[in-house]
Structures are given as C-alpha cells and as structure tokens.
C-alpha cells in the first residue's frame, strides 16, 4: 500500500495528526513556545557614546560613528542613563521585579557587524525579571528584560564582480532591549497577541518606535511540541528567526507546529536548530547549524562600573508611568460607561486614545451617550476624530442621535391617536404579542411629524398607556 500523505489538522493550539490507514492512536500535541523580542530604544544618542541614534534616517552609511561605536582601541564607553531608566520603566509596566544592583557584561563572538568582537550586554543580572503580560488566552510570564547594544548593519552585495558584505555602523551601539518570555505560549494566535501587546505597551511608554519593517523590533520564537497531558519541557527547541511582522510570526509558528507534528508522528527526533522564515513561501527553513554550542565567554565589562538604584528611585519611576491601555480601557468603563469591546480597541494607540479621551470628556459634558459615541467611532459611522476634528465629530454624532424635547401630553395624545386608529393593537398586546410595540413606535413617531423625541421616552410612554387599557 503506497504511503499516503498524512492529513494534518490544527485545532486551536493543538496539532492533531490523523492516521486513518491503520488504527494507531493519534498523538495530540500542544505548542510550547516562548518569544524573544528585541526593540531599539529611541534615545537621542547611542547606548555607550554620544553618537546620534537615528540609523533609519541617516543620510549616508557610517556617518553616525565615533571611536567608541567603531570599537577603536582605548575608547571608553559610558552608559546612557535614559536608556537604563527606560528599560526599568518597561519592566515596571510589565510587572517585573527590578535588580537594584546590575551590570553590563561582554558577550564575545566574531562577526563583521560587531566591531569590538564583543557585544556589551547583560548576562546574569538583567535590569528586570519576573514580569507578566496578560493575553486573552492566559498570562505569559516575562523571564527577563535586559539592555544591550545593537550591531552594525550588513548588506550582502556584489561589488566589481566580487561577492562581498558591506557594513554600516550607524546602527552600531544603538540601545537595544531584549524581552524574553517563559515558554507559556500555547497557540500561534496567543504569540501574536502577546507580541502586539508588548509593542503597544512599549509605544505607550514612548521609548521605542518598534518599526518592524526597518528592524526596529525583531521577533524570535522558540517552539516545540509536547504530547497533550505530558508535563515538563520537550527535549528540543527550534528557534525561528527573521520574523518581521506579527502575521508572519503566527504563520511561522503554525508552520512549525505542522512540521514538527509530522516528524514526531513518524517517530523522528527533531534537531535543536535555528530556522529562518520565508514569508513568500510561508515556510521555515534550516539555517546553517552552529559548529559549536555557543560559547560567548561572558564576563563583566571592566569599562562600565556597575549600576545601583535605590528603591526610592524605582518607586519614582513607578509613579511616573503613564496610564497603560488596559487601565485606560477600564477607567473609560467607569467614567464614560464605555463597554470593553469599544474601549479596548480605541485605547490601542496612545495618541489616538488621547484624542478620544477629549472627545468623550466633551461628549459627557454635553450629556451625550459616550458608549454610543464610542460605538460610532469604532464602527467608523462618523468622521474619524482627530485633534482638529473633535468638534465636527461631536456635531455629527449629536445630529445623528438628536432628540427633540416633546411635551408629555403631546406625546400621550399621539399614542392615543394611534391606538384609536388601530384598535387591534391592544388585543394583540394583551395576548403577549410584543411586535406591536415596534409598530406603535413607528406610528407614534409619524404622528409627531418633524419632531424627533428620545425613542426611550416614546417606548416608555407607549408601554405605560398600553398597561392602562
């Protein structure tokens, strides 16, 4: 019997391989995934020197360099205080604990984009540890957040017929944070939500642009599968690199789940390796395996004295934190009675949220229904509010939901008139036919001509009168 291609189905986070030809019990696997996310901080100057930090807008390559970030002998790095404080603020925003005493370490490896042949990073004492990001599919714990320097940028080109690599050191020593999660992620969609939430929080703190296209934010996923019901971490881990969008992150993880499930079902062991992601083909591919296990020979950088904070300083940073999206959405619920399904998407972007805040606060002053307004904005039924167009949006909204004040007796008269013209309504109402209410609403409104009363008031009046009949 020829071997058939096994159908592979993904059910939520679980990979199920169905073997129909014979009656082997299929294994159901679950994803075990942790993410490593890098983001370049948007300080004015670089991490360890006063060079301009703006690699994506530099007019020419190698124009923002100095002896320090070119790794010249004798140059002395000095740490950027703001970059350190921002790292700690991010940690606090993610509920991390902070190491009051910390230091920088040298991580050694040879690569042409690394002029010193070591990268200044943090090894055993990162600034932040033990945090958490809440997702709709459960919490994802943060293992650590550390601060390091970015490398130069390599371009692989052909110059005068020779295959070469070109190096631009404008990015060399740009402050770079690395956020490492625990392997708590159970589905590809959760990975995506986690990464997006992180970006949202980073942008709220205004510490990084997280431009994925340019490489200002980079995603790496450590993935493996475990048979459902088993405990502990799988024996292998596949690291997927080169992911530059949230959608590709989700796709790359889904691809890996299927690939690994097939191998496991075939009884093969999965090698520990680094894979890249080819977005065009929607596939991951094996990258050259390292000949040796990484041996970075970390040691404390003697050029950089350790950093010590007091708890009072950390408390000060905590007090300085801006209101984060989840807190803002909850407050909108309390202050403006806006439902979470509108408040959450509308608080996603900090600058937009600030505009909406003004909008809702003015709407409330004008006694407009903020939840209805939030719904209209979310569903794009009115002009999208900007700082300049708040008035316009409010007027449009007010016009859409404008209600005229009507005299109670005038309204009651209208209802009575409709009832007189439609005597069967009362019978139907008594028989429990609630559809007559809609009919009554429409007819009463018509009776009132050009006046647009509050529908709620009309409904109440109809109900009240019908009950007296």
Environment class of 273 (CB within 10 Å of its CB; exposed 0-12, middle 13-18, buried 19+): middle
List of residues contacting Zn ion (CB under 5 A) = 49, 51, 66, 68-69
Is residue 238 within 8 Å of 225, Cβ to Cβ?
A: no
Of 64, 194, 246, 397, the one binding another protein by CB under 8 A: 64
Core vs surface per residue 416-433: b (16+ CB within 10 A) or e: eebbeeeeebeeebeeee
User: CB-wise, 292 or 388, nearer to another protein?
Assistant: 292
> Among 45-53, 177-185, 337-345, 456-464, which window interacts with another protein (CB under 8 A)?
45-53
Other C-beta atoms closer than 10 Å to the C-beta of 268 total 10
Q: Of residues 5, 74, 110, 399, which one binds another protein by CB under 8 A?
A: 110
**Contacted by 300, from Zn ion, another protein, none: CB < 5 to 8 Å by type:** another protein
Q: Find all residues with CB under 8 Å of 121, minimum gap 6, and list them.
A: 104, 105, 106, 107, 146, 148, 149, 298
By CB under 8 A, tell whether 226 contacts another protein: no
Query: Near another protein by CB under 8 A, which window of 290-298, 345-353, 355-363, 382-390?
Result: 290-298
Q: Which of 10, 19, 66, 330 binds another protein (CB under 8 A)?
A: 66
Q: Give the nearer residue to another protein in terms of CB position, either 100 or 354.
A: 100
Structure-token pair, residue 369 = 């229904």
Report the relative pairing of strands 238-243 and 153-159 from DSSP bridges. unpaired
How many residues sit close enough to another protein to count as binding (CB under 8 A)?
A: 57
Residue 73 interacts with another protein (CB under 8 A): yes or no: no
| The dihedral formed by the CA atoms of 387, 391, 393 and 399, expressed in degrees to the nearest 10 | 180
Tokens found for residue 136: 């709709």
Distances (CA, A) of 254 to 188, 191, 212, 249, 433: 6, 11, 20, 9, 52
Provide the minimum distance between the beta carbon of 327 and Zn ion in the complex, in angstroms, as a whole number.
38
Which residue, 241 or 262, has its beta carbon nearer to another protein?
A: 241
Interface residue with another protein among 4, 5, 57, 156 (CB under 8 A) is: 156
Is residue 31 within the footprint of another protein (CB under 8 A)? no
Using alpha carbons, select from 131, 36, 149, 37 the residue that is nearest to residue 91: 131
- Binding residues vs another protein (CB under 8 A): 43-45, 49-52, 60-67, 70, 78-84, 103, 108, 110-112, 117, 154-156, 159, 162-169, 241-242, 276, 287-288, 291-292, 295, 297, 300, 302, 304-308
């Amino acid at each position: 019997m020829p071997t058939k291609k096994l159908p592979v189905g993904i059910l939520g986070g679980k990979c199920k391989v169905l073997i129909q030809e014979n009656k082997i019990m299929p294994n159901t696997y679950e994803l075990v995934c942790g993410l490593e996310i890098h983001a370049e901080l948007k300080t004015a100057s670089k991490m360890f020197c006063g060079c301009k930090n703006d690699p994506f807008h530099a007019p020419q390559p190698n124009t923002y360099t100095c002896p320090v970030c070119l790794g010249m002998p004798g140059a002395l790095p000095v740490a950027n205080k703001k970059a350190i404080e921002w790292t700690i603020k991010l940690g606090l925003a993610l509920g991390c604990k902070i190491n009051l005493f910390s230091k920088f370490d040298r991580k050694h490896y040879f690569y042409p984009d690394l002029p010193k042949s070591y990268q200044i990073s943090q090894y055993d004492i990162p600034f932040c540890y033990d945090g958490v990001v809440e997702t709709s599919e459960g919490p994802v714990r943060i293992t650590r957040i550390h601060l390091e320097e970015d490398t130069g940028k390599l371009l692989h080109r052909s110059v005068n017929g020779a295959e070469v690599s070109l190096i631009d050191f404008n990015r060399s020593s740009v402050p770079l944070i690395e956020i490492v999660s625990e392997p708590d992620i159970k589905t590809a969609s959760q990975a995506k939500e986690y990464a997006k939430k992180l970006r949202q929080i980073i942008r709220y703190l205004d510490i990084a642009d997280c431009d994925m296209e340019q490489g200002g934010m980079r995603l790496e996923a450590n993935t493996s599968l475990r048979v459902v019901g088993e405990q502990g971490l799988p024996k292998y881990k596949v690291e997927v690199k080169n992911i530059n969008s949230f959608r590709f992150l989700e796709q790359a993880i889904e691809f890996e789940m299927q690939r690994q499930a097939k191998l496991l079902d075939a009884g093969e062991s999965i090698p520990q390796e680094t894979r890249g992601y080819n977005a065009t083909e929607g596939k991951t591919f094996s990258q050259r395996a390292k000949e040796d296990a990484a041996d970075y020979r970390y040691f404390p950088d003697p050029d950089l004295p350790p950093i010590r904070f007091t708890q009072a300083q950390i408390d000060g940073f905590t007090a300085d934190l801006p209101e984060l999206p989840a807190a803002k959405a909850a407050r909108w619920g309390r202050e403006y009675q806006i439902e979470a399904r509108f408040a959450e998407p509308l608080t996603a972007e900090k600058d937009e949220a600030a505009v909406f805040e003004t909008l809702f606060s003015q709407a409330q002053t004008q006694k407009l229904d903020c939840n209805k307004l939030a719904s209209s904005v979310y569903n794009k039924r009115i002009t999208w509010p900007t700082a300049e167009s708040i008035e316009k949006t409010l007027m449009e909204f007010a016009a859409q939901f404008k209600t005229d004040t009507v005299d109670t007796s005038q309204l009651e008269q209208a209802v009575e008139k409709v009832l007189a013209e439609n005597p069967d309504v009362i019978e139907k109402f008594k028989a429990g036919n609630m559809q007559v209410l809609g009919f009554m609403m429409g007819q009463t409104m018509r009776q009132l001509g050009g006046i647009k009363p509050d529908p709620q008031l009309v409904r109440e009046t109809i109900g009240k009168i019908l009950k007296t009949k």
